[in-house]
Every structure is written in structure tokens, then in C-alpha cells.
Amino acid sequence: MQVKIKDLLPNPFKKYINEGKFNKERIEILIESIEHGTLPQHFYARKKGSKFELVAGHHRIEALTRKFGEDHKVDITTVIYSDEEMLIDMVRENMTQRNTDFQDKKESVVLAREWLRSGSRNVKQFNIRAKRDNKGKFIGSEPIKDSYRSIAKFLSKHGKAICYGSVKNYLNIHDNLSKELVEEVGNGLTLKDAVVLSKIESKEEQKEVKIALDNIGEGDQVERGKLVTQYKNLPTTLKKEVREGRINLDELKDVSPHSLSNGEMVLQFHKRLSKLSADCRTIRRGLMQFREGSLFNEFTPHQNEGFHSRMKALGKEQEKLLDEIVRCLGVLSHEKKRQIERIEKG
């Protein structure tokens, strides 16, 4: 059947997702779809007095309203849904649609959790129990047993399954990630980075490690996750150096302090230092050939810029390395002196 848009009401749970607000970018994209004739104009709704409550598709309806006005007619199929089914279908659509943004998906999963926690049977009861604090978080709710799996099972009981892993990731981000970083997800912070950062307990530390991640560029997401995991296992002093920018996160790739004995680590670093010395000699000789043979004169402007940038970066790394070598030499000299004193006393 066909009904006018003005006779459609939102899903009663829509107000709990981003406070019922619309994503402007999605609306603009949907309006473009209307202009190209590719936007579906069929909806599911349940009867509510003389009007109808949408199950899902609120952004599509808003786009159609802005394009054609409230008197525009759309096709609907009426359904006999309980309040719980209205909730499940709305959340499921948010979770499975590719163009739904992260915040809507996250709040949808949180909403499903709060429904289960409340033990409510209808919207009126839930509205009374679902109170929020001034930060928008639900309060006064009791935990539910095996939360992640319970929610995934709840959302899947009337149709397509929702991945347990996705539920777990969204709730971990919601519960554990700093508010500032949550707002960056999808806009400068990837979902996978948000998941690994949410495993760091301190909110301030999360922000500092996020900056450290930004400094190494995009790269492979699995590798980035491993780096953050390795960071968590570092001694406190090394963690501090990472957060202060004195050690890059990607320098941790070859560091395995918890899987090697002290003797193995000493042997490993002996090998690396020997290789580094050999590499330094090779690079130094190569640079001498470039300089003395006037090969830099043959560079194109692009090659010149690239070589110049790499040389500057190498110089900075060298400064850091020399600084650490001086520190280590100081420690070694001190220990050597103590050993000599012990031998003399003995």
C-alpha cells in the first residue's frame, strides 16, 4: 500500500540512536541516489493508530522528505511487530548496512544491551528505566550474563545472525575507549585501531599511543594491532619513551622481551650491532661516491627532494641512536668500574 510520508512515525527506539539525529553526509548521498533513480522507496511499518511506525529506513525517508516534501507517497508493507521485534529489526539494519556510520552501529548495540538489562517488555517500561547520564550513557542497569554472546543471540533470533565479534568490539570501544577517541572512529581513527586501543586501561595513555600510531602511517592493520599488543608488554620505561616519541612504535617489530632470555637478547643485539656497523660502512662509502663523483648533480628535482628527505630522516635517527649509545656507554662504564672495584676488594 502507499502512504504519505507525513503519516509515517519513527521507530519508537530511534531516539536512542544518536539522539534521533540524522547523519548529514548520508542524507546527501541518499538524495543523490534519488536523483539517479536508485533509491528504494519501499518500507516496513506497523500500524499505530491512524499512522504507521517505521521499522527501519529513517535516513531514506528523511532524504525523500527533503527532496519531495511530506506529501510524497511511498510503498509500505505492514507488519505485526512487538516492541522487541521493532528494536531487533532496527538494530539489525544498522549493523548490516554498509553505509551506516560507526556511531549509529555502536549505539544500536548498546541499545540492545540495555533492553536486555532492563528486562522490559514494551517501550513504555523501557522509557522509564532507560535513564541516561549527562554524557549520554545508560545508568542504573544491571549487567547481563555473558553480555556479548547474549546480545548477538538476541539480535539473531528472528533472522540474519549478527557476528559475536562485532558486538564485542563495539561494546569494548563504548565501555573502555576515551570519549575523544570514540568520536574520532571513522574520521581519522579506524575501527581496528579503536579496538586495540580500547584494551589499554588508561584513557590518557590511549590518546598518547594513538599519536604514536599516527606517526607510523597507515600500514597493515594486523601489524598495527600487533605493535600495540607489543607496546602493552613493554617495561614502563620503554612505554614512556614510545609515548614521548623517542621510540617509534614500528621499531618494536623485532623486540620480543618476554619471549627471549637475557642471554638470547644479548646475542641477538650483538648480531644486530655487527650488522648495523657493516651497513653504516656500506652507506658511508656509497655516500662518498655520490659526493666525490658529483652524482648529485645528475639528480632530477624529484630525486633530489626524495634523497634530501631520506637523508634528513636518517640524520634524526642517527642522533637518537648516538644519544642512546652514549647512555648505554655510561651505564657500561659504571658497571665496569664496579666490577673492577669488587675484584680489587675480593
User: What is the chain's pLDDT, residue by residue, as a tens digit (346 residues)?
Assistant: 999 999 999 999 999 998 888 988 889 999 999 999 889 999 999 999 999 999 999 999 999 999 999 999 999 999 999 999 999 999 988 888 767 788 889 999 999 998 988 888 888 888 877 766 555 566 655 667 668 888 888 888 766 778 888 899 999 999 999 999 999 998 878 888 899 899 999 999 999 999 888 887 666 666 777 888 888 877 787 788 888 887 777 776 655 544 445 555 565 666 777 788 888 888 888 888 888 878 888 888 888 888 888 888 888 888 888 888 888 888 888 877 787 777 777 6
CB 56 within 8 A of CB 11: yes
Do 264 and 288 sit in the same domain of this protein? yes
Of 81, 116, 151, the last residue of a domain is 81
124 within a domain of the structure (yes/no):
no
H or E stretch at 75: strand 73-78
Do 53 and 5 sit in the same domain of this protein? yes
Do 292 and 316 sit in the same domain of this protein? no
Q: Count how many domains the chain has.
A: 4
Do 271 and 216 sit in the same domain of this protein? no
Sign of CA dihedral 208, 224, 307, 246: positive
Do 340 and 267 sit in the same domain of this protein? no
188 within a domain of the structure (yes/no):
no
* Interatomic CA distance for residues 34 and 188, integer angstroms: 29
Q: Any idea what the CATH number is for the domain that residue 2 is in?
A: 3.90.1530.10
149 within a domain of the structure (yes/no):
no
Do 341 and 265 sit in the same domain of this protein? no
For residue 240, the enclosing domain spans 199-252
307 within a domain of the structure (yes/no):
yes
Do 303 and 282 sit in the same domain of this protein? no
126 within a domain of the structure (yes/no):
no
Do 292 and 303 sit in the same domain of this protein? no
Residue 47's CB is within 10 A of a number of other CB atoms, namely 12
Enter the pTM of the model.
Answer: 0.67
* Interatomic CA distance for residues 296 and 293, integer angstroms: 8
Do 273 and 206 sit in the same domain of this protein? no
62 within a domain of the structure (yes/no):
yes
H or E stretch at 315: helix 301-345
* Interatomic CA distance for residues 116 and 118, integer angstroms: 5
Do 2 and 66 sit in the same domain of this protein? yes
CB 70 within 8 A of CB 5: yes
Do 62 and 30 sit in the same domain of this protein? yes
Nearest of 304, 285, 283 to residue 293 by alpha carbon:
285
42 within a domain of the structure (yes/no):
yes
Do 280 and 342 sit in the same domain of this protein? no
152 within a domain of the structure (yes/no):
no
Q: Which residues of 156-195 are buried (b: 16+ CB within 10 A; e: fewer)?
A: eeeeeebeeebbbbbbbbbebbbeebbebbeeebbbebbb
Q: Which residues of 73-99 are buried (b: 16+ CB within 10 A; e: fewer)?
A: ebebeeeebebbbbbbbbbbbbbeeee
